[in-house]
Amino acid sequence: MKNKIIQQKRASLFVLLLTLTGMTNTLAQEFTVDKLKYSIIDNGSDVELIGFVDNNKVEGNLYIPNKISWNGKEYHVTQISFSAFRQVRYLSGE
């Protein structure tokens, strides 16, 4: 009886770990398009701009599109992370 309870607890723990691993992979999926880094938002069809690929080599004008395509899917850019530009030395707007 005791062994059966231990096996059930191990199985439950295993299922919980698999579930949590899947959730973190889905929620934290990040990718790069045109030197900008994005993170998929919970709903799966929107993304948040989270920064540049290399903050030290940012020059010229920055265009943030309202839609991007990645991995065969189209996403709407709906948010810009508060810290997206924190490493950029000089940033000005028009």
- Domain containing 65 equals 29-80
What is the DSSP secondary-structure string of 43-64?
Answer: TSSEEEEEEES-GGG--S----
User: Does 19 reside within a domain?
Assistant: no
pTM of the model: 0.63
User: Does 65 reside within a domain?
Assistant: yes
29-84 pLDDT, tens digit per residue, is 999 998 899 999 988 899 999 988 876 566 777 888 999 999 999 999 999 998 88
- The number of domains in the chain is 1
Q: Which residue has the higher pLDDT, 91 or 51?
A: 51
